[in-house]
Amino acid sequence: MARTMKRSSDRILWTGEGSEAKPVAVKSNLLLLTLFILFLIGGSLFYVWSRIQVIQLGYEISNALKEGRGIVLANKKLRLEIATLKSYARIEKIAMEELRMGKPKADQVIVIR
C-alpha cells in the first residue's frame, strides 16, 4: 500500500497545477516575442517606405525646378519676341514695303492731346 501512495503522490506532482502554469507562461512569452518581432518588422518597413517617399519627392521637386527654369527662359524669349515685333522701325518697314504706304504729309498729321 505504501507503494501505491507513493505512485499516486508522484502523479499528483506530475499532473498538478504547477505543470499547467509553465505552458501558459511559455505561450504568453512566445506571443509577446512574436508581437515584438512583428512590430519591429512593421517599423522597419515603414522606415524604408518613408525614405523611398522622401527620395521620390526629392526627384519630383528637382524636376519641377528644372521645368520652372525652362518656363522662365521661354518667358524671356517670348518677351524679347514681343519687343521685336512691336519695334517702330519694323512696323514702318512693313508698312512701306509690303503695304506700300508712304509717310504722311504735315497737314495729314493730327496731334491728339
Question: Does an H or E element contain 106, and which?
Answer: none
Q: Distance between CA 45 and CA 48 in Å, rounded?
A: 5
pTM: 0.54
The rounded distance, in Å, linking the Cα atoms of 71 and 75 is 6
**Mean of all residue pLDDT scores within the chain:** 86
Is 90 in contact with 84 (CB distance < 8 Å)?
Answer: yes
Q: Over the stretch 5-59, which tens digit does the pLDDT of each residue have?
A: 555 554 554 555 555 555 678 888 999 999 999 999 999 999 999 999 999 999 9
User: What percent of the chain has a predicted confidence (pLDDT) above 90?
Assistant: 63
64 in Cβ contact with 70 (< 8 Å): no
- Residue corresponding to grid cell 519641377: 64
User: What are the pLDDT digits (tens) for 65-107?
Assistant: 999 999 999 999 999 999 999 999 999 999 999 999 988 898 9
Q: Among the residues of 1-113, which ranges form H helices? A: 2-14, 17-85, 88-97
